[in-house]
Structure 1
Protein backbone atom coordinates (compact mmCIF):
# COMPACT_ATOMS: atom_id res chain seq x y z
CA UNK A 1 0.00 0.00 0.00
CA UNK A 2 1.75 3.14 -1.17
CA UNK A 3 0.60 5.91 1.15
CA UNK A 4 -2.86 4.50 1.94
CA UNK A 5 -5.75 6.96 1.95
CA UNK A 6 -8.09 6.43 4.91
CA UNK A 7 -10.39 8.81 6.74
CA UNK A 8 -12.83 9.07 9.62
CA UNK A 9 -15.02 11.69 11.22
CA UNK A 10 -12.67 12.05 14.17
CA UNK A 11 -9.52 13.91 13.11
CA UNK A 12 -6.07 12.56 13.84
CA UNK A 13 -3.27 14.77 15.07
CA UNK A 14 -1.57 14.79 11.66
CA UNK A 15 -4.84 15.90 10.05
CA UNK A 16 -5.53 18.60 12.63
CA UNK A 17 -2.01 19.99 12.41
CA UNK A 18 -1.60 19.78 8.63
CA UNK A 19 -0.53 23.07 7.05
CA UNK A 20 -3.02 24.56 4.60
CA UNK A 21 -0.27 24.83 1.97
CA UNK A 22 0.52 21.09 2.07
CA UNK A 23 0.25 19.21 -1.21
CA UNK A 24 -2.62 17.23 0.32
CA UNK A 25 -4.45 19.14 3.04
CA UNK A 26 -7.63 18.76 5.06
CA UNK A 27 -9.73 20.71 2.57
CA UNK A 28 -8.67 18.38 -0.25
CA UNK A 29 -9.08 15.15 1.70
CA UNK A 30 -12.57 16.20 2.75
CA UNK A 31 -13.43 17.06 -0.87
CA UNK A 32 -12.11 13.70 -2.08
CA UNK A 33 -14.27 11.87 0.45
CA UNK A 34 -17.38 13.89 -0.48
CA UNK A 35 -16.81 12.91 -4.11
CA UNK A 36 -15.97 9.26 -3.38
CA UNK A 37 -18.40 8.08 -0.74
CA UNK A 38 -22.03 7.08 -1.36
CA UNK A 39 -24.51 9.94 -1.02
CA UNK A 40 -25.50 10.52 2.57
CA UNK A 41 -22.38 8.81 3.94
CA UNK A 42 -19.69 10.38 6.06
CA UNK A 43 -16.01 9.56 6.58
CA UNK A 44 -16.93 6.74 8.97
CA UNK A 45 -18.23 4.71 6.03
CA UNK A 46 -16.38 1.36 5.65
CA UNK A 47 -14.93 2.53 2.30
CA UNK A 48 -12.90 5.19 4.12
CA UNK A 49 -12.69 3.94 7.67
CA UNK A 50 -11.44 0.37 8.22
CA UNK A 51 -12.19 0.77 11.94
CA UNK A 52 -15.90 1.48 11.41
CA UNK A 53 -18.46 -1.08 12.63
CA UNK A 54 -19.46 -1.98 9.06
CA UNK A 55 -15.91 -2.57 7.84
CA UNK A 56 -14.82 -6.11 6.93
CA UNK A 57 -13.28 -8.10 9.77
CA UNK A 58 -9.60 -8.17 8.90
CA UNK A 59 -8.96 -11.37 10.82
CA UNK A 60 -11.31 -13.15 8.40
CA UNK A 61 -9.56 -11.89 5.26
CA UNK A 62 -6.64 -13.78 3.76
CA UNK A 63 -3.91 -11.32 2.73
CA UNK A 64 -0.45 -11.70 1.30
CA UNK A 65 2.37 -9.90 3.13
CA UNK A 66 1.94 -6.14 2.85
CA UNK A 67 4.36 -3.27 2.49
CA UNK A 68 2.88 -0.01 3.75
CA UNK A 69 4.72 3.15 2.74
CA UNK A 70 4.15 6.37 4.65
CA UNK A 71 5.31 9.94 4.12
CA UNK A 72 6.61 11.36 7.38
CA UNK A 73 4.94 14.70 6.58
CA UNK A 74 1.81 13.22 4.97
CA UNK A 75 -1.51 14.43 6.40
CA UNK A 76 -2.61 10.76 6.39
CA UNK A 77 0.45 9.37 8.21
CA UNK A 78 -1.32 8.76 11.53
CA UNK A 79 -4.03 6.70 9.84
CA UNK A 80 -1.45 4.73 7.84
CA UNK A 81 0.45 3.88 11.03
CA UNK A 82 -2.81 2.97 12.80
CA UNK A 83 -3.86 0.74 9.89
CA UNK A 84 -0.48 -0.99 9.87
CA UNK A 85 -0.78 -1.58 13.61
CA UNK A 86 -4.33 -2.91 13.18
CA UNK A 87 -3.19 -5.35 10.51
CA UNK A 88 -0.38 -6.59 12.75
CA UNK A 89 -2.84 -7.02 15.65
CA UNK A 90 -4.98 -9.17 13.35
CA UNK A 91 -1.99 -11.40 12.60
CA UNK A 92 -1.13 -10.03 9.17
CA UNK A 93 2.43 -9.79 7.88
CA UNK A 94 3.16 -6.07 7.51
CA UNK A 95 6.33 -4.13 6.81
CA UNK A 96 6.25 -0.34 7.20
CA UNK A 97 8.56 2.05 5.37
CA UNK A 98 8.55 5.75 6.25
CA UNK A 99 9.98 8.48 4.02
CA UNK A 100 10.45 10.92 6.90
CA UNK A 101 10.70 14.21 5.00
CA UNK A 102 8.00 13.50 2.43
CA UNK A 103 4.39 14.53 1.94
CA UNK A 104 1.65 12.61 0.18
CA UNK A 105 2.36 11.59 -3.44
CA UNK A 106 6.03 12.66 -3.40
CA UNK A 107 6.82 9.76 -5.74
CA UNK A 108 4.52 11.28 -8.38
CA UNK A 109 5.48 14.91 -7.82
CA UNK A 110 9.25 14.27 -7.73
CA UNK A 111 9.97 10.98 -9.50
CA UNK A 112 13.69 11.74 -9.75
CA UNK A 113 14.15 12.45 -6.03
CA UNK A 114 16.36 10.42 -3.70
CA UNK A 115 13.25 9.54 -1.67
CA UNK A 116 11.59 8.06 -4.74
CA UNK A 117 14.73 6.09 -5.59
CA UNK A 118 14.86 4.68 -2.04
CA UNK A 119 11.14 3.86 -2.16
CA UNK A 120 11.55 2.07 -5.50
CA UNK A 121 14.40 0.00 -4.08
CA UNK A 122 12.40 -0.85 -0.95
CA UNK A 123 9.39 -1.92 -3.00
CA UNK A 124 11.58 -4.01 -5.29
CA UNK A 125 13.33 -5.66 -2.33
CA UNK A 126 9.97 -6.40 -0.67
CA UNK A 127 8.49 -7.96 -3.81
CA UNK A 128 11.61 -10.05 -4.37
CA UNK A 129 11.59 -11.26 -0.76
CA UNK A 130 7.90 -12.19 -0.85
CA UNK A 131 8.31 -13.88 -4.23
CA UNK A 132 11.32 -15.85 -2.96
CA UNK A 133 9.50 -16.85 0.24
CA UNK A 134 6.50 -18.07 -1.76
CA UNK A 135 8.63 -20.16 -4.13
CA UNK A 136 11.02 -21.94 -1.78
Structure 2
Protein backbone atom coordinates (compact mmCIF):
# COMPACT_ATOMS: atom_id res chain seq x y z
CA UNK A 1 0.00 0.00 0.00
CA UNK A 2 1.57 3.26 -1.08
CA UNK A 3 0.48 5.85 1.47
CA UNK A 4 -2.87 4.27 2.40
CA UNK A 5 -5.85 6.59 2.73
CA UNK A 6 -7.99 5.80 5.78
CA UNK A 7 -10.28 7.99 7.83
CA UNK A 8 -12.55 8.04 10.86
CA UNK A 9 -14.74 10.52 12.69
CA UNK A 10 -12.20 10.86 15.51
CA UNK A 11 -9.14 12.83 14.39
CA UNK A 12 -5.63 11.52 14.89
CA UNK A 13 -2.81 13.72 16.11
CA UNK A 14 -1.29 13.99 12.61
CA UNK A 15 -4.67 15.10 11.25
CA UNK A 16 -5.26 17.62 14.03
CA UNK A 17 -1.80 19.13 13.66
CA UNK A 18 -1.70 19.19 9.86
CA UNK A 19 -0.90 22.63 8.41
CA UNK A 20 -3.59 24.10 6.15
CA UNK A 21 -1.02 24.61 3.38
CA UNK A 22 -0.08 20.91 3.26
CA UNK A 23 -0.49 19.15 -0.08
CA UNK A 24 -3.19 17.03 1.55
CA UNK A 25 -4.99 18.70 4.45
CA UNK A 26 -8.15 18.17 6.53
CA UNK A 27 -10.32 20.17 4.17
CA UNK A 28 -9.30 17.94 1.25
CA UNK A 29 -9.50 14.62 3.10
CA UNK A 30 -12.96 15.50 4.40
CA UNK A 31 -14.07 16.47 0.89
CA UNK A 32 -12.70 13.22 -0.57
CA UNK A 33 -14.63 11.19 2.00
CA UNK A 34 -17.86 13.13 1.35
CA UNK A 35 -17.48 12.34 -2.35
CA UNK A 36 -16.44 8.70 -1.86
CA UNK A 37 -18.68 7.28 0.84
CA UNK A 38 -22.30 6.19 0.37
CA UNK A 39 -24.86 8.92 1.00
CA UNK A 40 -25.71 9.22 4.66
CA UNK A 41 -22.44 7.58 5.77
CA UNK A 42 -19.73 9.12 7.86
CA UNK A 43 -15.99 8.43 8.04
CA UNK A 44 -16.58 5.48 10.36
CA UNK A 45 -17.96 3.54 7.40
CA UNK A 46 -16.04 0.28 6.71
CA UNK A 47 -14.81 1.69 3.36
CA UNK A 48 -12.79 4.33 5.19
CA UNK A 49 -12.30 2.94 8.67
CA UNK A 50 -10.88 -0.60 8.99
CA UNK A 51 -11.48 -0.39 12.76
CA UNK A 52 -15.23 0.18 12.43
CA UNK A 53 -17.62 -2.53 13.66
CA UNK A 54 -18.77 -3.29 10.09
CA UNK A 55 -15.26 -3.67 8.67
CA UNK A 56 -14.11 -7.12 7.51
CA UNK A 57 -12.35 -9.20 10.15
CA UNK A 58 -8.73 -9.07 9.03
CA UNK A 59 -7.84 -12.32 10.75
CA UNK A 60 -10.28 -14.07 8.39
CA UNK A 61 -8.80 -12.59 5.22
CA UNK A 62 -5.93 -14.28 3.41
CA UNK A 63 -3.33 -11.68 2.42
CA UNK A 64 0.05 -11.89 0.76
CA UNK A 65 2.95 -10.08 2.46
CA UNK A 66 2.28 -6.36 2.44
CA UNK A 67 4.54 -3.33 2.10
CA UNK A 68 3.08 -0.15 3.59
CA UNK A 69 4.77 3.12 2.64
CA UNK A 70 4.22 6.22 4.74
CA UNK A 71 5.23 9.84 4.35
CA UNK A 72 6.68 11.12 7.61
CA UNK A 73 4.86 14.43 7.11
CA UNK A 74 1.68 12.92 5.61
CA UNK A 75 -1.56 13.95 7.33
CA UNK A 76 -2.58 10.27 7.19
CA UNK A 77 0.63 8.87 8.70
CA UNK A 78 -0.91 7.99 12.09
CA UNK A 79 -3.65 5.95 10.44
CA UNK A 80 -1.13 4.18 8.19
CA UNK A 81 1.00 3.22 11.20
CA UNK A 82 -2.10 2.11 13.12
CA UNK A 83 -3.27 0.01 10.17
CA UNK A 84 0.15 -1.61 9.85
CA UNK A 85 0.10 -2.41 13.56
CA UNK A 86 -3.43 -3.82 13.27
CA UNK A 87 -2.37 -6.10 10.41
CA UNK A 88 0.61 -7.34 12.42
CA UNK A 89 -1.64 -8.01 15.43
CA UNK A 90 -3.84 -10.11 13.14
CA UNK A 91 -0.85 -12.20 12.09
CA UNK A 92 -0.21 -10.60 8.71
CA UNK A 93 3.26 -10.18 7.22
CA UNK A 94 3.80 -6.42 7.01
CA UNK A 95 6.84 -4.30 6.22
CA UNK A 96 6.67 -0.55 6.80
CA UNK A 97 8.80 2.01 4.95
CA UNK A 98 8.73 5.65 6.05
CA UNK A 99 9.93 8.55 3.90
CA UNK A 100 10.49 10.84 6.89
CA UNK A 101 10.55 14.23 5.17
CA UNK A 102 7.72 13.58 2.73
CA UNK A 103 4.05 14.50 2.52
CA UNK A 104 1.26 12.60 0.82
CA UNK A 105 1.78 11.87 -2.89
CA UNK A 106 5.40 13.06 -2.99
CA UNK A 107 6.14 10.35 -5.58
CA UNK A 108 3.65 12.01 -7.96
CA UNK A 109 4.62 15.60 -7.21
CA UNK A 110 8.39 15.01 -7.38
CA UNK A 111 9.04 11.84 -9.38
CA UNK A 112 12.73 12.66 -9.78
CA UNK A 113 13.41 13.20 -6.08
CA UNK A 114 15.80 11.06 -4.06
CA UNK A 115 12.87 10.02 -1.86
CA UNK A 116 11.04 8.65 -4.87
CA UNK A 117 14.16 6.83 -6.07
CA UNK A 118 14.58 5.24 -2.61
CA UNK A 119 10.89 4.31 -2.52
CA UNK A 120 11.13 2.71 -5.97
CA UNK A 121 14.14 0.67 -4.87
CA UNK A 122 12.37 -0.43 -1.67
CA UNK A 123 9.26 -1.48 -3.58
CA UNK A 124 11.38 -3.37 -6.12
CA UNK A 125 13.35 -5.11 -3.36
CA UNK A 126 10.12 -6.06 -1.54
CA UNK A 127 8.52 -7.50 -4.68
CA UNK A 128 11.68 -9.44 -5.53
CA UNK A 129 11.90 -10.85 -2.00
CA UNK A 130 8.23 -11.90 -1.95
CA UNK A 131 8.54 -13.40 -5.43
CA UNK A 132 11.68 -15.32 -4.43
CA UNK A 133 10.05 -16.57 -1.19
CA UNK A 134 7.01 -17.81 -3.11
CA UNK A 135 9.10 -19.67 -5.69
CA UNK A 136 11.65 -21.48 -3.53
TM-score if structure 2 supplies the norm length? Answer: 1.00
How far the C-alpha of 1:106 sits from its partner, in A, is 0.1
Q: Which runs of 4+ in 1 moved over 3 A?
A: none
2-structure distance, mates of 1:27, 1:17: 13
How far the C-alpha of 1:104 sits from its partner, in A, is 0.0
How far the C-alpha of 1:49 sits from its partner, in A, is 0.1
1:43-86 superposed Cα distances (whole Å, 9 cap, x missing partner): 00000000000000000000000000000000000000000000
How far the C-alpha of 1:28 sits from its partner, in A, is 0.1
1:2-51 superposed Cα distances (whole Å, 9 cap, x missing partner): 00000000000000000000000000000000000000000000000000
Is 1:110 the counterpart of 2:107 in the alignment? Answer: no
Q: Which residue of 2 aligns with 1:50?
A: 50
Report SS of the residue matched to 1:128: helix
How far the C-alpha of 1:126 sits from its partner, in A, is 0.0
1:83-111 superposed Cα distances (whole Å, 9 cap, x missing partner): 00000000000000000000000000000
Structure 2 residue runs without a partner (length 5+): none
Give RMSD over aligned pairs: 0.1
1:95-136 superposed Cα distances (whole Å, 9 cap, x missing partner): 000000000000000000000000000000000000000000
Report SS of the residue matched to 1:56: coil
1-structure distance, mates of 2:52, 2:122: 31
1-structure distance, mates of 2:131, 2:26: 37
Structure 1 residue runs without a partner (length 5+): none
Report SS of the residue matched to 1:119: helix
